[in-house]
Amino acid sequence: MNSIVSTSPVRVSLKGRDLVTWLDYSTEEVHELLSLAQYLKKNPYSKVLEGKTLGMIFEKSSTRTRVSFEAGMLQMGGHAIYLNARDIQLGRGESIADTARVLSSYVDGIMIRTFETEKVTELAKYASVPVINGLCDTYHPCQALADVLTILELAGTLKGLKVVYTGDGNNVAHSFMILCAKLGMDVVVSCPVGYEPDKEIVGKTVELAGMNGGSFTLSYDPVEAVKNADIVYTDVWASMGQEEEAVKRLKDFKPYQVNEQLLQHAAPQVKFLHCLPAHREEEVTAAVIDGPCSAVFQQAENRLHVQKAILQSLFV
C-alpha cells in the first residue's frame, strides 16, 4: 500500500520559475530536482498540489509527456487539463500573448509541447504562471532530467561517466548534452556530417563541461565514439515533422545504428537508453533495446517522477 505524504525532506526553491531549457538552471538546482525526484519515486502520493491546475497545450502528439504530467498532477492532489491546439483559439489565430494572459487567470501552470522554440519563450514571457517546455524543436528538458535520473540509478554517480549520444543532433541531444555537461560527465555526440547539434548549443555545452569537470566531444565515427562508454543513447532518425526526409535519413544514419556489434566497443557494463518511441531495426536493433543492457522502460517510468519534481518545485 502506497503511503500518503504531504511534505518531502527536499525543498527546491524554484517557485514561479519557467522551465524552457536547462541553460537557465544551476548545477545545484538540477541536483536538488534529482533528489526530489528520487524522494517522490519512493513516496508517490501526496496532497502538495491540492487545488492546483496544470493547463497542457499539445501541438505535437504524445504518450509519455501527456500521461506522466497528468498522472503526476493527480498523484499529488492536483488536476491537469488537456488542451489540443485544434480545440483552443491558439489553433485558430489567437496570439500566444493573449493565450498566455488568459490561461494564467485560470490555471497555476502551463505545459506546452510544440514545434517552434519561440512559442515556448513567448508563452513564458507573457504568462504570469510557470511555463514548462514539454518539447520544442530545440529542447526537450523534461526528457533529459529523466535520462539523468536513470543514469544516476544505474551507475550510482554522475560525475566522470562517459555518456554517448549517437544519431541526430536534435532537441533530445541538445538537452541531454547540456544537462550531462552541467553535471560533470564526459559527453560524446556521434552523428553524420550535416546532422550535428546546433553550433551555439555546442559552444555552451563545451563551456559548461569545462566549468563542471567534464568534457564534450563531437565525433563522426560511432565506433570510436562508444569506446569505453558507460551509457549509449539514441533517438529516432526522423522526428515528427521530418517524415519527408525519412528515406534519406535511413541511408545517412545506417552506420550509426546501435547494435550488439557497436556495443562491443563500449564498457562491459554499458547501459542503453532511448527516449521512445523506438523503431526497432532502424536506430536500434531489437536485440539491444529488448536485451539485458537496456534501461529504456526504467527511463520512461522516470518521466513521471521528474515531472512531479518539476511541478512541485515550480508550483509550491
Residue 244 is given by DSSP the state G
113, 174, 249, 305: which is the annotated catalytic residue?
113
137, 275, 293, 305: which is the annotated catalytic residue?
275
Residue 83 near residue 55 (C-beta atoms within 8 A): yes
Whether the pLDDT of residue 212 is over 50: the answer is yes
Q: How many domains does the chain have?
A: 2
Q: What is the pLDDT of residues 141-185, one digit of tens each?
A: 999 999 999 999 999 999 999 999 999 999 999 999 999 999 999
- Asked if 157 and 294 sit in the same domain, the reply is yes
Peptide bond into 197 cis (omega under 30): no
Whether the pLDDT of residue 244 is over 80: the answer is no
Q: Are strands 79-84 and 4-5 parallel, antiparallel or unpaired?
A: unpaired
Q: Which carries the bigger pLDDT value, residue 252 or residue 12?
A: 252
Residues 6+ apart with CB under 8 A from 192: 220, 252, 253, 255, 256
> How far apart are the two ends of the chain, measured CA to CA in Å?
26
303 has catalytic annotation:
yes
Q: What is the pLDDT of residues 196-211, one digit of tens each?
A: 999 999 999 999 999 9
38, 143, 299, 307: which is the annotated catalytic residue?
143
191 has catalytic annotation:
no
- Asked if 31 and 179 sit in the same domain, the reply is no
- Asked if 62 and 164 sit in the same domain, the reply is no
Place of cell 519561440: 118
Q: How far is CA 90 from CA 125, 134, 267, 306, in A?
A: 16, 17, 48, 28
> If you average pLDDT over every residue of the chain, what do you get?
94
Whether the pLDDT of residue 7 is over 80: the answer is no
- Asked if 117 and 159 sit in the same domain, the reply is no
Give the model's pLDDT for residue 10.
Answer: 58
Type of residue found at 168? D
Q: How far is CA 67 from CA 18, 110, 305, in A?
A: 21, 15, 12
17, 140, 274, 305: which is the annotated catalytic residue?
140
79 has catalytic annotation:
no
Among left, alpha and beta (phi > 0; psi -120 to 50; other), residue 246 is alpha
- Asked if 150 and 259 sit in the same domain, the reply is yes
- Asked if 10 and 130 sit in the same domain, the reply is yes
Q: What is the pLDDT of residues 98-113, one digit of tens each?
A: 999 999 999 999 999 9
CATH code of the domain containing 61: 3.40.50.1370
Q: What is the pLDDT of residues 43-99, one digit of tens each?
A: 999 999 999 999 999 999 899 999 999 999 999 999 999 999 888 888 678 999 999
293 has catalytic annotation:
no
List beta partners, residue 188: 164, 217
- Asked if 146 and 293 sit in the same domain, the reply is yes
- Asked if 131 and 164 sit in the same domain, the reply is no
Residue 197, domain extent: 142-299
Whether the pLDDT of residue 242 is over 90: the answer is no
230, 303, 305, 307: which is the annotated catalytic residue?
303
Residue 80 near residue 103 (C-beta atoms within 8 A): no
Q: How far is CA 202 from CA 17, 159, 167, 196, 292, in A?
A: 25, 19, 15, 9, 32
- Asked if 283 and 307 sit in the same domain, the reply is no
Whether the pLDDT of residue 9 is over 60: the answer is no
Give the model's pLDDT for residue 240.
Answer: 65
Whether the pLDDT of residue 4 is over 50: the answer is no
